[in-house]
Structure 1
Amino acid sequence: MIAERARQSGETVVVRLAARGDGVTADGRYLPGAVPGDRIVGEDVMPGPHRAAPVCEHFGRCGGCQLQHGDEEVLANFVKGRVVGALQSAGVEAEMVADPHLSPPRSRRRAAMRAEMRDGTLALGFNEESSRAVVDLQECHVLTPDLFTLAQELRPILSALMPKRWICGVTLTEATGGADILISNLSPSREVVHAFAEWEPTIPVARVSVEDGGRTDIVLQRGKPVQTFGGVDVAMPPATFLQATADGEAALVAAALDFTSGAGRVADLFCGLGTFALPLSAEAEVLAADAAGPAVAALEAAARRAKRRVRTLHRDLFRRPMTAKELAGYGAVVLDPPRAGAKAQVEALAASKVPVVAYVSCNPSTFARDAATLVRGGYALTEVRPIGQFRWSTHVELAARFVR
């Protein structure tokens, strides 16, 4: 209706957001910075009812957020639209797509940032949009307050340790027992070890590791970073994957539990530390498989201590997917692959007789590709739950149920 009125008046209107956040008009133009409901009059963009005032001074430069200029309706429609659009492109239709779940501001407990020394001054933050330049964050509305404070505490020590014109990766993770910090492109020299040993003892950090040349070394250990899944504490190895927000993780776990309810045996593939395996093990017997050896070992130790019915398997599921024969007898499979999806594993699943597949994805495009394979193999996509865990970002996640 809005688009029709605008057309009759010689205007055009923005009707949706493209995958990278650009506004798309009714006549097919792409306009960076526009949101649905904005009117285009000549070369001017007239703000519409869904435009919001960005909350962060860095918005427009920082690549951490692309959608702060849209209201809650814009965010929800974008998250849902990314999932539905990807499925439509793959020729797959879901029986039901739920309303999106959006994580709140200041909820990211894990962040991969960059530190850059330029002209003797440290910049610490996220990359600029479509650039390798680092935005020096003076505020952040996606990180938890504690994580942002920790980043500021790192500034003096990184400034002292990093050579001129040097760039490091800095991954910060909140954990029980203190934060976990991983700094890449920094060697475990005597100077580095001494600097962290002298770090202010009141800073709530459990461990600092450095990664150089593919090797990870611990340079400070004050405690053991721990994450809890399904009521079970798991000790975190350095550089272990973790869902970005506790809120988003809870939504994904709830979906996996709902989708696999009643399955006596569940295979959790790409299991990581046990995000899904441990909650599932409260009611089911679980096989947990992943190529990340330290994570699998940590999960195994935690499950043994808690007397949970979890059997672990250290296995590269890209090169050696679980076969249909190996999956015989399982009532459900949970998949949580990286952004590349799980092409080989899904092909094996499509040839299996597993009744239910719960697929957790961080990439709607590769999910849609894999969904098409499962549907061709005889599965029906009965439900999809879109999840905007990375608030104000074009990064979209989801959980889906396939039933044979």
Structure 2
Amino acid sequence: MSARFTIDRLGAQGDGVANTESGQVFIPFTLAGEVVTAARERDRATLMAVLEKSPLRIEPACRHFGDCGGCAVQHLEDGAYRAWKRDKVVHVLKGARIDCEVDDLVPCAPHTRRRVSFSARRTDTGLALGFNRHLSSQIVPLEECPIAVPQIVGALDMLRELGTLICATPKPFHMTVTVTASGLDVAASDSGRMGERQRQIASNFVVRHGLARLSVDGEIIIEPKKPMVLFGAAAVPVPPGSFLQATEPAEQTMADLVGQHLARAKKVADLFAGCGSFALRLAAKSEVHAVEGEAAALAALDRGFRFATGLKRVTSEKRDLFRRPLTFKELNAFDGLVFDPPRAGAEDQCRQIARSDVPLVAAVSCNPVTFARDLAILLAGGYRLKKVTPIDQFLWSPHVEAVALLEKPKKRR
């Protein structure tokens, strides 16, 4: 049964939040100040109609918005959207009692997402390829996507054909598509065990359509061209399913902030280095020691370094920094450091950094909550926060990146 709600604020996940006598109710696709009718189920409700619209409500950029769960806030005016995302970082820093000025959000333009993970499933009418409906496993087939680069959007029909060829399961599976300098890299997961005939047909399809690579559950089915991504002057052959920043402009912004901060450092540590998006750019001016837990990512980083020209020495170390963080004594060999951990953050590693004498530290994060926790550890260890910059690379979603630049004054001898 539907009920009437007044939306009090926009929540952290992009849902409108209505305060009621029985508690908060979260209603997707609504905005602060709006009066709506919605069908309630416990603390969530499905929007039925907007009775009184917010002046900040705009026409969504995509025909699928409201059905597709890929975007949460296409209906919010741009200036208010940017302020909402910046406030997510401001709020968690205040909650951690970190007093600092936060820069304006670095915006994300439409049509810039170079890496997209689609849901797919075989149906009676063909392959459904798209994103899941909000809070549902049902797939909304896509005809357009204003966040993705044109190379991916233009390949949707071809990707549906490829998905049909590799599908060996009635269950949903995923197809992650990445635009590389060599062409599209398609990595499927949970699509089922392919027979030899099926593999051959899929391989012929990949060659015919000029794709760089097809892999399934980490196994390369065919790789006509090594998928290459540029990190500064280095061309890196990214492994199947390896981490890559979602948009190139956001990656470059982060790299510029980190590079400017560490410009005076002669020897830099890059922790959670991945395939080298920071390390290989920093090597233009500094010697770099890259530490990463994934062997395939380190191998790609090393190959990128060895085939590049004009870079200073880059060494690498395979190490699980969650189980065995670099100690403060090891860190003292460096005069600059950058760390970019997964969403869990780098709590134990930050405790070692806090004890170290590394004068320049850059912290990169995709999770404001663990970001604030890690910064608090560094500040308690004597670091001073120079700058915090929020960066949007997941347009119209609740996700926000942040870069913090810190310094530690030299100890007097």
TM-score for both structures, normalised by structure 1:
0.90
Find the counterpart in structure 2 of residue 290 from structure 1.
292
CA deviation map 1:233-267 (0-9, x unaligned):
11111111110011111111111112222111110
TM-superposed CA distance for 1:390, in Å, is: 0.6
Please show how residues 8-23 of structure 1 align to structure 2 within 5 Å.
16-23=9-16
- Give yes or no for contact 2:206–2:214 (8 Å, CA) kept in 1: no
- Give yes or no for contact 1:50–1:73 (8 Å, CA) kept in 2: no
TM-superposed CA distance for 1:13, in Å, is: 8.3
- Give yes or no for contact 2:233–2:308 (8 Å, CA) kept in 1: no
Q: Which amino acid aligns with 2:14?
A: G
Following the alignment from structure 1 to structure 2, what is the Cα–Cα distance between the partners of residues 84 and 15?
20
Q: Which amino acid aligns with 1:32?
A: P
TM-superposed CA distance for 1:401, in Å, is: 1.0
Following the alignment from structure 1 to structure 2, what is the Cα–Cα distance between the partners of residues 71 and 343?
36
Compare 76-85 and 44-53 and name the one that shifted more: 44-53
Find the counterpart in structure 2 of residue 83 from structure 1.
89
- Give yes or no for contact 2:168–2:193 (8 Å, CA) kept in 1: no
Following the alignment from structure 1 to structure 2, what is the Cα–Cα distance between the partners of residues 280 and 147?
30
CA deviation map 1:95-126 (0-9, x unaligned):
x2111011111110001111112345321111
Find the counterpart in structure 2 of residue 33 from structure 1.
29
SS at structure 1 position matched to 2:330: coil
- Give yes or no for contact 1:265–1:331 (8 Å, CA) kept in 2: yes
CA deviation map 1:137-190 (0-9, x unaligned):
121111111112233202123224424632211111010111111111232431
Following the alignment from structure 2 to structure 1, what is the Cα–Cα distance between the partners of residues 211 and 165?
19
Find the counterpart in structure 1 of residue 327 from structure 2.
323
Following the alignment from structure 1 to structure 2, what is the Cα–Cα distance between the partners of residues 294 and 52?
44
- Give yes or no for contact 1:264–1:284 (8 Å, CA) kept in 2: yes
Please show how residues 323-402 of structure 1 align to structure 2 within 5 Å.
323-402=327-406
- Give yes or no for contact 1:188–1:217 (8 Å, CA) kept in 2: no
Distance 1:26 1:378, change over 3 A: farther
Q: Percent identity?
A: 38
SS at structure 1 position matched to 2:139: coil
TM-score for both structures, normalised by structure 2:
0.88
SS at structure 2 position matched to 1:198: helix
Q: RMSD of aligned C-alpha atoms?
A: 2.2
Ranges in structure 2 where 5+ consecutive residues have no aligned partner = 39-49, 409-413
- Give yes or no for contact 1:229–1:279 (8 Å, CA) kept in 2: yes
TM-superposed CA distance for 1:226, in Å, is: 0.3
Distance 1:32 1:230, change over 3 A: same
Distance 1:204 1:79, change over 3 A: farther
- Give yes or no for contact 2:207–2:224 (8 Å, CA) kept in 1: no
Q: Which amino acid aligns with 1:303?
A: F
Q: Which amino acid aligns with 1:128?
A: R
The answer as to 2:254 corresponding to 1:252 is yes
Please show how residues 115-126 of structure 1 align to structure 2 within 5 Å.
115-119=120-124, 121-126=126-131
- Give yes or no for contact 2:168–2:194 (8 Å, CA) kept in 1: no
Ranges in structure 1 where 5+ consecutive residues have no aligned partner = 1-11
